[in-house]
Amino acid sequence: MNRNTPDLISYAECVVLSFGFWVPMGSVLALSTRPGRQNSPFPQDRPLSRWDRRDGRLPNPGSFDGLHRNCKDVFPQQIEGVKLVINKTLSSFFKVSHTFHLSAVAPSSYRFHAEHLQSDTDSKETGSPMLIGEMDSSGSLNAHSLFHLSEKIRAKAVFQTQQAQFVTWQFETEYRGSDFTAAVTMANPDILRESVIMVAHFLQSVSPQLVLGGELVYHRGRAEEGGILTLAGQYSGPNWVATLNAGKGGAHASYYHRANKQIQVGVEFEVSTRTQETTFSFGYQMELPEAKMVFRGMVDSRCIIGGVLEKRLYPLPATLIMGVFVNHRADKLQVGLGVNVG
């Protein structure tokens, strides 16, 4: 399974495609912050951050787009060709990176990435960027901005262009209470075409282990109008997490288990009513601290087997990344090599 794609394509996302543009609901255009992994450009749920303070007996459930994150981080990020990433910290609050990618499948490219971090104490602890910009050699631009309006409210804006054309403009407001999270997103509003997509997320901690919630998507256009509801639930144990999303568009179930300090495993099961496809994936991560290596592997029901090895080149400030993916059904081999400096 290609891990460069967004999360499970729900029916709501398929509706977005019918308008001629792509806006993944619940996960806004995540930028890759290091080779081999795809991370959200804004703070993920970490201990002691401003978003994880507990004012009651129940914990905050986090964001809707982070429900399956533990499982997805176990799977390797598919790579191809040769990639060189050079990271440079210019100051305490400003970072840049240069990415050179040589590929035999897609056109070779160069990408410039810049981050401006927030200067308050809480943001330093989480390393949360306030502004992010990324432009590639074709002229396409990704821009993100995050603003903490108060202790519990944050606003986020995303803009994306393909060469000279705007393809995405998205605005989100999120409120995190002591034991719940509520968010509203407006994507690609167009007054002339009378089209807009509105998404509402809500998660509630029912117990220290159980989280329940849902996603409501409303879309309006000249040709059609409607709404889709997706229900979600997550149950956590001492060293495992089980998550389920289910709606009219299909279902997405995942299970994450941490066997010990070195080994983590994840299982995903996805059903799409639009494509009438069912996929099953198994992934694992093995860390070898003594050797400064991390290996991630996966196998899925489409006969795709792959693995990525990350090796820290101590004492150099660099990481070597090697990946191989084999599609037995299509008889294809994909090999990638990357170096992350800084």
pLDDT in tens, 294-311: 999 999 999 999 999 999
Give the residues across from 62 on adjacent strands: none
Mean pLDDT is highest, among 2-16, 106-120, 288-302, for 288-302
State whether the Cα torsion 143-148-152-153 is positive or negative.
negative
Q: Give domain limits for the chain.
A: 8-341
Q: What is the mean pLDDT of residues 274-289?
A: 94
| Contact indicator for 105, 30 with CB cutoff of 8 Å | no
State whether the Cα torsion 36-42-44-46 is positive or negative.
positive
Q: Alpha helix (H) ranges present in the chain? A: 11-18, 69-72, 121-126
Q: Is 208 helix (H, G, I), strand (E, B) or coil?
A: coil
Which band of pLDDT confidence, cut at 50, 70 and 90, is reported for residue 193?
confident
Mean pLDDT is highest, among 43-47, 122-126, 147-151, 278-282, for 278-282
Segment 89-97 long-range contacts (CB within 8 Å, at least 24 positions apart): 89/342, 92/117, 92/119, 93/117, 93/118, 93/119, 97/342
Q: What is the pTM of this model?
A: 0.79
Q: Is 15 helix (H, G, I), strand (E, B) or coil?
A: helix
Q: What backbone phi and psi angles, to 5 degrees, belong to 184? A: -130, 130
Give CA–CA dist 57/184, Å, rounded: 26
Fold classification of 8-341 is: Porin (2.40.160)
**DSSP structure class, residue 45:** -
